[in-house]
């Protein structure tokens, strides 16, 4: 059985299975830790950028929330190129201090945290939190 088949046979209904899947994906396609950095810029260096909510083709009830200085669509493409499956941007928001927005949303979702920037919430809930947080932190535009 090849690694792709092995990944696809794992269920996605609970945290331990999800963590096992991420471990398999990470061993096949290692990625740098993006918990405290985005690309080569540290979070405290980002004054203007994007906060995003992404979905993954393998998980219906899990989203990835992060910040980046690049276009979120391009960021999704680069993540998809490094892993099995496809990332899709469900929502993104260009704002000042995007990593501060992300950190605040992470505080709200801490109980739902899986691994790194992945959370077991619907994209709609994550989008509502992001929109609510931008009432506090000014945004430039959203789509």
pLDDT at position 37 over 70: no
Confidence label for 27 from pLDDT (cuts 50, 70 and 90): low
d(CA 79, CA 45): 22
Indicate whether 57 belongs to any domain. Answer: yes
Indicate whether 91 belongs to any domain. Answer: yes
For the chain, what is the domain count? Answer: 1
Indicate whether 101 belongs to any domain. Answer: yes
Indicate whether 1 belongs to any domain. Answer: no
The per-residue pLDDT for 119 is 86
Indicate whether 16 belongs to any domain. Answer: no
d(CA 96, CA 122): 25
Average pLDDT of the chain, as a whole number? 72
Indicate whether 88 belongs to any domain. Answer: yes
Range of 98's domain?
34-142
pLDDT at position 52 over 90: yes
Q: Report the candidate in 43, 70, 66 with the shortest Cα–Cα distance to residue 56.
A: 66
The per-residue pLDDT for 97 is 85
Confidence label for 7 from pLDDT (cuts 50, 70 and 90): very low
Return the higher-pLDDT residue of 36 and 126.
126
Indicate whether 15 belongs to any domain. Answer: no
- The pTM score is 0.64
Indicate whether 17 belongs to any domain. Answer: no
The per-residue pLDDT for 40 is 39
């Amino acid at each position: 059985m090849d690694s792709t088949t092995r990944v696809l046979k794992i269920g996605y209904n609970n945290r331990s299975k999800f963590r096992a899947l991420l471990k398999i994906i990470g061993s096949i396609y290692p990625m740098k830790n993006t918990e405290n950095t985005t690309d080569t810029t540290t979070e405290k260096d980002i004054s203007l950028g994007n906060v995003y909510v992404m979905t993954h083709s393998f998980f219906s009830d899990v989203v990835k929330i992060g910040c980046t200085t690049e276009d979120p669509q391009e960021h999704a493409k680069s993540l998809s190129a490094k892993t099995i499956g496809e990332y899709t941007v469900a929502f993104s928001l260009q704002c000042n201090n995007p990593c501060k927005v992300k950190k605040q949303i992470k505080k709200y979702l801490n109980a739902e945290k899986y691994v790194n920037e992945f959370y077991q919430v619907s994209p709609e809930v994550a989008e509502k939190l992001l929109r609510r947080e931008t009432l506090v932190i000014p945004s430039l535009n959203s789509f």
